[in-house]
Amino acid sequence: MIVLGIETSCDETAAAVVDDHEPRPRIRANLIHTQFAEHAPYGGVVPEIAARAHLDRIDGLIERTLDEAGVSFHELDGVAAAAGPGLIGGLLVGTMAAKGIAWAAQKPFIAVNHLEAHALTARLSDGVAFPYLLLLVSGGHSQLLVCAGVGQYRVLGTSRDDAAGEAFDKTAKLLGLGYPGGPAIEQAARGGAPARFSLPRPLKGRDGCDFSFSGLKTAVRQIISDRPPRDASDIADLAAAIELAICDTLADRTANAVAWFRGQYPQGATLVAAGGVAANQRLRQRLMALAAAAGLGFVAPPPALCTDNGAMIAWAGLERLHLGLTDALDAPVRPRWPLDGNVPMTAVMAATS
């Protein structure tokens, strides 16, 4: 089967065509237009600007994606779009485009949960088998969860305040490093000496799998107002301290989840990281070491499949299409759409039995 996937939930307009070729699925085309330049002057994503930019670009992007994949609308087996969670204007643009194509070509439409798409990407990139433990860290979400099957997610912990990506973005803004903050901090931190600044690791050492990052932002603001960074080496040291503090917190909470997962899911063999923050090299190394120490494999998709992209939406669409989980053309967009409770368990059991 072959599916077109459309992603417009935040500040990337993206489209991709993915097939379920054996033994490995193939990304036939994967195009993205990032709106960084449009939002940069404001230091963050402006929903109205994002919606207009999606609308301006979506048709041309889909056309070029199909051209590059060498398929026509009629050769598709389904059309998937991110239907939430995210910014409502962008979600409407992407789902309306997908529904229009699905209706015109008489193909099934699949309303994809953006978080589920991040969660399933390791199956596209590396064929990871269920069940696996997932650290999902993006600009809007930080969660530890068990992925037991398509539509079967058990959330073990979430952020009590900012998401991990938000912690990168907000501290980068304080440092004047621009948006998005994660890649900017990662680059600025190279060669920096993190030990020069002591930053909090909220909840570290406590039971459970919840996160907290808001104390970090306050601490960074305080350091900057006490003694503004004077040169590139001050910035590098502070950026390295921020990156290390976020990685320490994520690794500590993930270690608790790994211990629990090993006891509850003895057949589970893999720790997976996904979402934009999983593109961070220091975090990937930490998680790989942590998994190895617990006897688990570690998988993080290539960085370009960690940050938002169309291939992950097409792949989630394919996985759902295989189970017969398609959606009506009046399916709503869902600006809030938690991952557990994504699909009624009975529907999944009926489709797989």
| Residues engaged in binding Zn ion (CB under 5 A) | 138, 308
Nearer to Zn ion, 5 or 202 (CB): 5
The burial of 21, by beta-carbon neighbours within 10 Å (0-12 exposed, 13-18 middle, 19 or more buried), is given as exposed
Which residue stretch of 30-38, 45-53, 134-142, 199-207 sits at the interface with ligand KG4 (rule: CB under 6 A)?
134-142
CB neighbours of residue 44 within 10 Å: 15
Which residue stretch of 73-81, 165-173, 194-202, 224-232 sits at the interface with ligand KG4 (rule: CB under 6 A)?
165-173
Name the β-bridge partners of 136: 143, 274
DSSP output for 12-60: EEEEEEEE--SSS-EEEEEEEEE-HHHHGGGTS--HHHHHHHHHHHHHH
The residue from 194, 276, 301, 310 that contacts ligand KG4 (CB under 6 A) is: 276
Query: How far is residue 44 CA from its own chain's centroid?
Result: 17
Q: Which does 131 bind (CB under 5 to 8 A by kind): ligand KG4, Zn ion, none?
A: none
Nearer to ligand KG4, 146 or 250 (CB): 250
Which residue stretch of 18-26, 121-129, 132-140, 249-257 sits at the interface with ligand KG4 (rule: CB under 6 A)?
132-140
Helices (H) and strands (E) in the chain, counts: 12, 10
Strand order from edge to edge, sheet including 142-149: 152-158, 142-149, 132-137, 270-274, 297-299
Q: Which does 165 bind (CB under 5 to 8 A by kind): Zn ion, ligand KG4, none?
A: ligand KG4
CB neighbours of residue 255 within 10 Å: 17
The least distance separating Zn ion from the CB of residue 307, rounded to whole angstroms, comes to 7
Nearer to ligand KG4, 86 or 131 (CB): 86
Nearer to ligand KG4, 102 or 122 (CB): 122
Q: Which does 151 bind (CB under 5 to 8 A by kind): Zn ion, ligand KG4, none?
A: none
Q: In sequence order, which residues have a C-beta less than 8 Å from that of residue 59 and are 6 or more positions away?
A: 97
Using CB under 6 A as the binding criterion, the count of chain residues that bind ligand KG4 stands at 19
CB neighbours of residue 147 within 10 Å: 26
Which residue stretch of 43-51, 180-188, 292-300, 311-319 sits at the interface with ligand KG4 (rule: CB under 6 A)?
180-188
Q: Which does 254 bind (CB under 5 to 8 A by kind): Zn ion, ligand KG4, none?
A: none
The residue from 16, 244, 272, 279 that contacts ligand KG4 (CB under 6 A) is: 279
Q: In this structure, are residues 153 and 340 in contact, taking their beta carbons and an 8 Å threshold?
A: yes
The residue from 84, 90, 94, 183 that contacts ligand KG4 (CB under 6 A) is: 183
213 is an interface residue for ligand KG4 by CB under 6 A: no
Q: Rounded to whole angstroms, how far apart are CA atoms 69 and 264?
A: 42
Nearer to ligand KG4, 169 or 234 (CB): 169
Q: In this structure, are residues 175 and 224 in contact, taking their beta carbons and an 8 Å threshold?
A: yes
The residue from 234, 237, 252, 308 that contacts ligand KG4 (CB under 6 A) is: 308
Q: Which does 280 bind (CB under 5 to 8 A by kind): Zn ion, ligand KG4, none?
A: ligand KG4
159 is an interface residue for ligand KG4 by CB under 6 A: no
Site for ligand KG4 in 15-34 (CB under 6 A): none
Q: Which does 277 bind (CB under 5 to 8 A by kind): ligand KG4, Zn ion, none?
A: ligand KG4
The least distance separating ligand KG4 from the CB of residue 268, rounded to whole angstroms, comes to 24
Output the CA torsion sign for 135, 47, 124, 280: negative
Name the β-bridge partners of 152: 149
Q: In this structure, are residues 241 and 274 in contact, taking their beta carbons and an 8 Å threshold?
A: no
7 is an interface residue for ligand KG4 by CB under 6 A: no
Helix 232-264 with 281-293: angle, nearest 10 deg: 30
Q: Rounded to whole angstroms, how far apart are CA atoms 16 and 123?
A: 16
**Category of 130 on φ-ψ map: left (φ > 0), alpha (ψ -120 to 50) or beta:** beta
The residue from 159, 212, 280, 326 that contacts ligand KG4 (CB under 6 A) is: 280
Q: In this structure, are residues 119 and 101 in contact, taking their beta carbons and an 8 Å threshold?
A: no
Per CB under 6 A, residues contacting ligand KG4 are 10, 138-140, 165, 168-169, 180-183, 186, 275-277, 279-280, 307-308
